Amino acid sequence: MEVQEELAGSDFIRDIVKADLAAGKYAPQAVHTRFPPEPNGYLHIGHAKSICLNFNIAAQFGGLCNLRFDDTNPSKEEVEYVESIIRDVRWLGYDWQDRMFYASDYFERLYECAIAMIRAGKAYVCSLSPDEIRSYRGTFTEPGKNSPFRDRSVQENLELFERMRAGEYPNGAHVLRAKIDMASPNLNMRDPVLYRILHESHHRTGDAWCIYPMYDFTHPLSDAFEGITHSICTLEFEDHRPLYDWALENAGNLPTRPQQIEFARLNLTYTVMSKRKLLQLVREGFVRGWDDPRLPTISGMRRRGYPPAAIRAFCDRIGVAKKDSTVDVALLEHCVREELNKTASRYMAVLRPLKVVIENYPAGQVEHMQAVNNPEDPASGIRQVPFSRELYIEREDFMEDPPKKFFRLSPGREVRLRYAYFITCTGVVKNEAGEIVELRCTYDPATRGGDAPDSRKVKATLHWVSAAHAAQAEVRLYDRLFSVEDPDRDGAGESFLDRLNPGSLETLCSCFCEPALAALQPGASCQFERMGYFCADPDSASGRPVFNRTVGLRDAWARIQQKNPD
């Protein structure tokens, strides 16, 4: 797997792992990590950070990494999400071999642990309503109050818990709670709920259960069942760590004692990363689906044309830290460009066409011009591009009355057509409304291939396509989905939805591209010379390709780095 080469580097988590290995803490067992998504949405670039971290640490230290679905909330989880997560982790380049697990596989075992806790006097059935539980919990400044049900006998607790499982009570009638300390300064330790009643079908266990274990109970025990050594999670779980350890300590005999380690989650400028908000964007139609190329979802980035290697390189570059921060989305785009520059074949495509007729070029003649596929990759070879009397060039490459700094085509001016000839504009054809609809030009036959024998210079090189040979294409240009850097910030009655960029998608329906592009497979990437990196969209129908612009050629990150070298 390519991932190996990206394994170098160290950080505070790898330091902990190294120290544990040196001390023989888990010996003879190797390092064992897991990626534990809840199947209640599609994965995003933040998850990619966690995926790369967990799988790369395991690979770096000769260990294993599991994929585990944390599927304990049937009201929000769906098979569609499970399938998308499997697809996305694989696509990122990682392999869990035969170790794909579900927390729901452990429901019986978790239930046994709960029974053991009740027997040991560490858990009780509480019959306060959810509101009462909340008000008994206290606040950061005030201790909580004991539940009046806290001192139920073990016998009574066992009986009630069994009847909860048997479906004798409605949702909310009882919960199972840990018996820890209602006065703990850590609110998570104030007798947290371990199980709740939920009469809801589960996507895997069907109607077998009507009580479901809570995350803080399920997660540490699932880690222990799987022999996880380092349970890496995001910073918001730091305050849950005492409960994580408490659960492991009080669940009976467990094979291993995993260690929870927290790191800062990834935030990106111009991006929302909360699954709840992404779900809202999808459900309410602000985007076209979970794989909309404007979303930071893995499926969106795949459709947009981000190569998995670029996402891995990005995750590697941002590293892991203990302090929350926001990464400039320009860095992600920079990594995408770096990868595509190496791998994407170049083509010519005209997005906003303007017809050019070369008056001294014989009608009906076709020449095939040699074009380099990728100057960064000599092995990619060359291709033939048809040239003829009628061409399209980019509308913005012509100005009838150019300002001083405009060096491209204008009346009387000579420019180079890439791989072809020098042409000079001799006339402009307009429609009744006065709009330019066609240019008249002449070419110099002595400049074939793009160089003049008298070494006369031109100031611009334009891309073009032969009108008779071009394939018509639809091109979708994307801009940031949000028009502000921090769409999540609090602001006077405004929500993130008010900060959507109305110009985030521009669809161009009559673009013309080299004929070879019509055969590009959906998902394949290329560069349109001068216009950016693009990829063929699954919407491409035979003969009518659709392209997504992955990223433009101008590198905002490189400019930032030039200004502030570190």
* Residues assigned a catalytic role: 38, 265, 275
* Total residues interacting with ligand ATP, rule: CB under 6 A: 14
Selected range binding ligand ATP among 34-42, 137-145, 169-177, 334-342, rule: CB under 6 A: 34-42
Q: Give yes or no for residue 103 binding ligand ATP (CB under 6 A).
A: no
Nearer to ligand ATP, 248 or 423 (CB): 248
Nearer to ligand ATP, 82 or 473 (CB): 82
Selected range binding ligand ATP among 33-41, 57-65, 164-172, 295-303, rule: CB under 6 A: 33-41
What backbone torsions phi and psi does residue 261 show, to the nearest 5 degrees?
-130, 130
Nearer to ligand ATP, 151 or 238 (CB): 238
Q: Give yes or no for residue 280 binding ligand ATP (CB under 6 A).
A: no
| HSE-CB of 260 using CA atoms within 13 angstroms | 24
Options 14, 49, 152, 413; binder of ligand ATP; rule CB under 6 A: 49
Selected range binding ligand ATP among 265-273, 304-312, 363-371, 402-410, rule: CB under 6 A: 265-273
- Least distance from ligand ATP to the Cβ atom of residue 55, Å: 12
Amino acid letter, residue 269: T
CA-closest candidate to residue 269, choices 543, 93, 482, 486: 486
Distance CA 220, CA 117 (A): 14
**Crossing angle, helix 215-225 and helix 241-250, to 10 degrees?**
60
Measured CA distances, 35 to 52, 72, 73, 301, 332 (Å): 9, 16, 18, 20, 22
Q: Give yes or no for residue 467 binding ligand ATP (CB under 6 A).
A: no
Site for ligand ATP in 345-404 (CB under 6 A): none
Options 118, 266, 481, 551; binder of ligand ATP; rule CB under 6 A: 266
Contact 297, 287 (CB under 8 A): no
Residue of closest CB approach to ligand ATP: 46
Nearer to ligand ATP, 72 or 540 (CB): 72
Distance CA 316, CA 310 (A): 10
Q: Dihedral sign for Cα 533, 90, 44, 506, please.
A: positive
What backbone torsions phi and psi does residue 114 show, to the nearest 5 degrees?
-65, -40
- Least distance from ligand ATP to the Cβ atom of residue 117, Å: 24
Selected range binding ligand ATP among 36-44, 172-180, 280-288, 544-552, rule: CB under 6 A: 36-44
Place of tokens 């703990």: 184
- Least distance from ligand ATP to the Cβ atom of residue 73, Å: 9
Selected range binding ligand ATP among 45-53, 329-337, 342-350, 479-487, rule: CB under 6 A: 45-53
Q: Give yes or no for residue 46 binding ligand ATP (CB under 6 A).
A: yes
Contact 211, 195 (CB under 8 A): yes
Give residue 43's region: left, alpha or beta (phi > 0; psi -120 to 50).
beta
Site for ligand ATP in 213-242 (CB under 6 A): 233-234
Contact 203, 71 (CB under 8 A): yes
- Least distance from ligand ATP to the Cβ atom of residue 275, Å: 5
The vertex-37 CA angle with 268 and 550, nearest 5°, equals 40
Site for ligand ATP in 148-207 (CB under 6 A): none
- Least distance from ligand ATP to the Cβ atom of residue 505, Å: 24
Distance CA 118, CA 125 (A): 9
Distance CA 405, CA 417 (A): 20
Contact 1, 95 (CB under 8 A): yes
The neighbour count for residue 210, using CB atoms within 10 Å, is: 20
Options 20, 38, 438, 444; binder of ligand ATP; rule CB under 6 A: 38
Options 32, 47, 312, 413; binder of ligand ATP; rule CB under 6 A: 47
Q: What is the CA radius of gyration of the chain?
A: 31
- Least distance from ligand ATP to the Cβ atom of residue 6, Å: 17
Contact 268, 296 (CB under 8 A): yes
Nearer to ligand ATP, 46 or 532 (CB): 46
Amino acid letter, residue 279: L
Q: Give the footprint of ligand ATP on this chain (CB under 6 A).
A: 36-38, 40, 46-47, 49-50, 233-234, 265-266, 273, 275
